[in-house]
């Protein structure tokens, strides 16, 4: 039996459709929800992400505010900008796009965001709410993955979940969200011994390392559900040929453009070993933006109607 493709684009569209009446209600009774995005410098990947986020706001009726300070911005200047948005009456959510230029103290900037406007769920106050399983905005990518699992009826309670990667953005909050749904959770990382053996214990395997195709068939238990968070651009022809020998269309695209996007899991292993998996692209990525919109609407509702 072939593996089920967990379609992040479809689930993202469903989440957005559910947000629309809430946005209409806020707009009619109060004002549109507002999201401020700060993009410092000229990181090409960040610029693409921000364009996608601003487009999503426009499509849903969320008002977006943008600030694009230069590469030379100081920590003090960014702190002042964050404070301006903290005080802005029409801004409900603030997103500071990472990474910031190297001279900026990113931690100080994150902590400066008003927790009540923390659209990314990164502020220590909201991380504490996550740990305690109290309401609040959640990190967007892990929250989106939980939506995906729920909407595809993937059983979580009692399942063994292995999260590979311990970042504050994905790995740690992912593990906590799974734990709150009664999974038995293991976190693996670069110092984990016998990584393949640990991964093979998983009913649900989440790969979030940022290493192209690091996990192979030996890491996946037959029938596991695999969530591939990675987005890595591969420009090596030999590697592309090895990873996509079973997908001629992808190799044709590589020949045209000179690169391909691959996740953290070998794509052939996903198809051959899992019972269900997220594709790259089209899996986790669209959910991240959908949950950013969801967080913004939640924060607007709290500010405008209480709760």
8 A C-beta contact, residue 46 and residue 99: yes
CATH number of 140-284: 3.40.50.720
Q: What is the pTM of this model?
A: 0.95
Fold of 25-134+287-305: Rossmann fold (3.40.50)
List 92, 97, 172, 228, catalytic entry:
97
Active site residue 181: no
Q: Once rounded to an integer, what is the mean pLDDT over residues 213-232?
A: 96
Residues paired with 204 in a beta bridge: 161, 225
Q: Is the peptide bond before 91 cis (omega within 30 degrees of 0)?
A: no
DSSP code of residue 3? P
If phi > 0 it is left, if psi is from -120 to 50 it is alpha, else beta; for residue 224 that is beta
**Position 29 pLDDT exceeds 90:** yes
- Residues 45, 39 contacting (CB under 8 angstroms): no
The domains spanning 25-134+287-305 and 140-284 adopt the same CATH topology: yes
Tokens of 135: 């309401």
77-95: per-residue pLDDT in tens? Answer: 999 999 999 999 999 999 9
In whole angstroms, give the CA distance from residue 110 to residue 253: 39
Q: Kindly name the residue from 92, 117, 118, 120 that is annotated as catalytic.
A: 120
55 is catalytic: no
Contact 81, 38 (CB under 8 A): yes
User: pLDDT tens digits for 112-140?
Assistant: 999 999 999 999 999 999 999 999 999 99
Q: Say whether 305 sits in a helix, a strand or coil.
A: helix
8 A C-beta contact, residue 71 and residue 80: no
Domain ranges of the chain: 25-134+287-305, 140-284
Whole-angstrom distance, CA of residue 173 vs CA of residue 56:
24
Question: How confident is the model over 260-269, as pLDDT tens digits?
Answer: 899 999 999 9
């Amino acid at each position: 039996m072939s593996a089920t493709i967990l379609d992040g684009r479809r689930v993202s569209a469903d989440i957005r459709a559910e947000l629309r009446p809430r946005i209409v209600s806020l707009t009619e009774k109060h004002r549109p929800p507002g999201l401020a995005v700060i993009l410092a410098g000229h990181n090409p990947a960040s610029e693409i992400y921000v364009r996608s986020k601003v487009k999503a706001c426009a499509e849903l009726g969320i008002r977006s505010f943008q600030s694009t300070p230069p590469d030379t911005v100081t920590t003090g200047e960014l702190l002042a900008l964050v404070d301006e948005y903290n005080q802005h009456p029409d801004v409900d959510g603030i997103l500071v796009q990472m990474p910031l230029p190297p001279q900026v103290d990113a931690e100080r900037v994150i902590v400066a965001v008003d927790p009540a406007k923390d659209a990314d769920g990164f502020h220590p106050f909201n991380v504490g709410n996550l740990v305690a399983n109290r309401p609040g905005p959640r990190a967007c990518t892990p929250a989106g993955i939980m939506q995906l699992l729920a909407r595809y009826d993937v059983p979580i309670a009692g399942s063994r979940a292995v999260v590979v990667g311990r970042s504050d953005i994905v790995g740690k909050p992912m593990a906590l969200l799974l734990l709150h749904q009664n999974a038995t959770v293991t976190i693996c990382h670069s110092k984990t011994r016998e990584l393949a053996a640990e991964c093979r214990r998983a009913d649900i395997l989440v790969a979030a390392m940022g290493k192209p195709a690091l996990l192979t068939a030996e890491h996946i238990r037959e029938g596991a559900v695999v969530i591939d968070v990675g987005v890595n651009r591969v420009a090596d022809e030999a590697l592309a040929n090895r990873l996509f020998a079973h997908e001629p269309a992808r190799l044709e695209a590589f020949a045209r453009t000179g690169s391909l996007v691959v996740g953290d899991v070998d794509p052939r292993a996903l198809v051959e070993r899992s019972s269900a998996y997220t594709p790259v692209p089209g899996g986790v990525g669209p959910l991240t933006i959908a949950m950013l919109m969801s967080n913004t609407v939640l924060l607007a509702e709290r500010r405008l109607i209480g709760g």
